[in-house]
């Protein structure tokens, strides 16, 4: 496919590493002007330097109202919004505090709601736009070791569907990408929370997939670039008839015959 995003501005939240950085690289390679976002200027600058083309870096904590306002002051409009920011951690269900529940909703759900609410009017006015949320297999298969994360990602699917209805008939599409277990630095730390820390990484990954994600048909962790490929497609004009969807890049982890 020839995906050309020349002339489009894309914001990717949480894009200093992992899936977010891979998405930023993919969008830049397709010709988009990408806004890299993270909480610290040093990490943002480092990510911008790693991209294969020109990009703008904005340090702002979009999990807060003030941080979101700072970002919007610098980047008032975008054509493509990728809500990638998210946190996760393993906590026994009965030990998750109210504070932790609120924190997960602030970061994983409300950060996306604020930015869609802010950028959607401009997209609708121009008659074209893309809002893409990075969800998780945990939205559909709630993990016992982190139900607060799973519930927040389930909510993100509903947010996506609702805003897709709000944008109906405008030329703006709103979709979620359901990412399966993906190989990032954060996931490496998570894997070692659940398996023997003395194991070499390759062996630890196999043990994690065997013991904790046996449903995976890939039987390996997904690479961030594989998630980015779907996002770049959804951000393009080629995906004009796909909206309100939850598209899986999960390695067959979710046992379902429908998207």
For the chain, where do the domains classified as CATH 3.40.50.720 start and end? Answer: 9-182+223-249
Helix (H) / strand (E) element for 187: namely helix 185-194
- What confidence tens digit (pLDDT) does each residue in 37-69 have? 999 999 999 999 999 998 999 999 999 999 999
Helices 224-235/18-29 angle, 10° precision: 50
> Given 149, 192, 233, 253, which residue is catalytic?
149
Band the pLDDT of 92: cuts 50, 70, 90.
very high
Helix 201-212 × helix 185-194 angle, to 10°: 70
Q: Rounded mean pLDDT of the chain?
A: 96
Active site residue 149: yes
The proportion of the chain whose per-residue pLDDT surpasses 70, expressed as a percent, equals 100
More confident residue, 256 or 108: 108
User: What CATH homologous superfamily does 9-182+223-249 map to?
Assistant: NAD(P)-binding Rossmann-like Domain (3.40.50.720)
């Amino acid at each position: 496919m020839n995906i050309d995003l020349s002339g489009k501005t894309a914001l990717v939240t949480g894009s200093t590493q992992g899936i977010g950085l891979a998405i930023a690289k993919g969008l830049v390679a397709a010709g988009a002007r990408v806004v890299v976002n993270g909480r610290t200027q040093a990490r943002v600058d480092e990510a911008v330097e790693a991209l294969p083309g020109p990009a703008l870096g904005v340090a702002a904590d979009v999990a807060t109202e003030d941080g979101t306002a700072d970002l919007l002051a610098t980047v008032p409009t975008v054509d493509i919004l990728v809500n990638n920011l998210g946190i996760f951690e393993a906590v026994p269900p009965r030990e998750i505090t109210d504070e932790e529940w609120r924190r997960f909703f602030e970061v994983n759900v409300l950060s996306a709601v604020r930015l869609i609410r802010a950028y959607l009017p401009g997209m609708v006015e121009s008659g074209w736009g893309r809002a893409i949320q990075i969800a998780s297999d945990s939205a559909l298969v709630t993990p016992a070791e982190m139900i607060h994360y799973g519930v927040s990602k389930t909510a993100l699917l509903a947010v996506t569907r609702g805003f897709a209805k709000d944008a109906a008939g405008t030329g703006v599409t709103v979709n979620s990408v359901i990412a399966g277990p993906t190989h990032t630095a954060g996931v490496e730390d998570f894997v070692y929370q659940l398996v023997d820390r003395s194991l070499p990484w390759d062996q630890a990954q196999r043990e994690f997939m065997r013991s904790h994600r046996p449903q995976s048909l890939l039987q390996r962790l997904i690479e961030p670039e594989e998630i980015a490929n779907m996002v770049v497609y959804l951000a393009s004009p080629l995906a004009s008839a796909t909206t309100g969807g939850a598209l899986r890049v999960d390695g067959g982890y979710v046992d379902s015959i429908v998207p």
